Amino acid sequence: MTLRAIEQPSASGILTSLRDCFGKGFPENRLGGTAGQAGRRAAEGGWRGGPVPDVRPDGQQRVTLQDVADRAGVSLTTASRVVNARAVRDGSRKVGKALEDRVNKAVADLGYTANLQARAVATGQSTMVGVALRDISDPYFSEIAAGLIEVADGELIGGGRLLLCMTSTAANEDAEREYVALMRAQRARAVVLVGSRSDNTAARSALRAELEAFTRAGGRAACIGQDLLGVDTVLPDNRSGAEALARALAALGHRRFAVLAGPRSLLTVQDRARGFLDGLSAWSVPLEAARVVHGELSRDGGYAAMSEILAAGEPLPDCVFAVSDIMAVGALARLRAAGIDVPGAIALAGFDDIPTLRDVYPPLTTVRLPLKRLGEIAARLVLSHDAPTRPRVVPVPGEVVLRDSTRPRPPR
């Protein structure tokens, strides 16, 4: 993730923009000093008196809220109420329909847009919501993102829509911490972290501290994953889902298993692998340590891990569990390349029920998580208007879905 330095405007320029955004009644000491002090600070940077110009890079003067008020023939306060929808937000007297129409026409005629940066300085929050995903190209994360976007699109804050800013952090909690710090500097309204925690306790502690700083500054935070960050959490029940899948596969007659696991450091991988082992143990089915192969949590990672299982030689497993559907897709490709029939020779199962499985043949047995709903829940947690006294945890169970990739195994 690349972080770019942000050029800060002068104090006098900010004060001018704040007045433009909220009207002449905006208190000068909201910037921590009087207008004279702001002017002196601006003078130290080279300004030598006179009105502070609000000029675009092309040299043309920006349209101000005062211009809108003048064109509409209303007061600056009335124009501000209409443009910023303050009557809805703070319960002020509503503006009459005729005046509202005049202001809106002036806005359209002049091409006026509100200064959202100034508004963020005044209120302490912007309309920005930050979302950090591990890998947006993975259908697991893109489906969750779809749920987040759908809820955010339906929210109106101060009469305007939210701006959703996404980044991919590649399973790196240091990158997540940097992103949360950036969102705090941008006065973001909320952040949502999507993905597994790792066993790097130092990195996790640093991320948790940054999230605490973010919430102390007035932001809201949530994560989808393990409940380890001290914020609202949407908790997929990975371990129980994997255990239920193992029990179902054992009940189909499978006895020789292999597991395609993702990176050892990811707690989601550990939870799913342990849950699967728990389910096999309930049926007194052993799982050899050599049959658990770790690799990248991706299609190529599944292909490589399946290659390692095949290279180990006979006896081959009669059923393979991949800890994610995307790994299972790669494993299926490797089995086909080797001419091995699925499920005739080796059965195959995954976890997540990503949307792209509808195009996979044979249809893949999996544990279904309501991925889009995970995103919707997280979005509602950070955008709700209530003020919880402690972080909330919303558990989301998985559902075993048996399909053609794991047919019953004939008795040996």
pLDDT in tens, 244-298: 999 999 999 999 999 999 999 999 999 999 999 999 999 999 999 999 999 999 9
Predicted confidence band of residue 384 (pLDDT cuts 50, 70, 90): confident
Predicted confidence band of residue 91 (pLDDT cuts 50, 70, 90): very low
Q: What is the pLDDT of residue 65?
A: 80
Backbone angles phi, psi at 352, to 5 degrees: 125, -40
Beta carbons of 188 and 179 less than 8 angstroms apart: no
Q: Which CATH entry fits the domain spanning 125-236+373-396: 3.40.50.2000, 3.40.50.2300, 3.40.50.80, 3.40.50.720?
A: 3.40.50.2300
Cα(269)–Cα(287) distance, integer angstroms:
16
Any idea what the Cα angle at residue 50 is, between residues 45 and 55, rounded to 5°?
75
Percent of the chain scoring above 90 in pLDDT: 58
Enumerate residues 6+ apart whose C-beta is below 8 A from 389.
Answer: none
Q: What is the pLDDT of residue 27?
A: 44
Beta carbons of 154 and 198 less than 8 angstroms apart: no
Report how far apart, in Å, the C-alpha atoms of 98 and of each of 68, 78, 110, 158, 312 are. Answer: 15, 12, 18, 21, 79
- Can you tell me the mean pLDDT for 325-345? 97
Please give the CATH superfamily to which domain 238-366+399-406 belongs. Answer: Response regulator (3.40.50.2300)
Q: What is the pLDDT of residue 58?
A: 52
Cα(281)–Cα(56) distance, integer angstroms:
69
Beta carbons of 204 and 229 less than 8 angstroms apart: yes
Residues of the chain with CATH 1.10.260.40: 11-122
Domain 11-122 classified CATH 1.10.3720.10? no
Q: What is the pLDDT of residue 297?
A: 93
Residues of the chain with CATH 3.40.50.2300: 125-236+373-396, 238-366+399-406
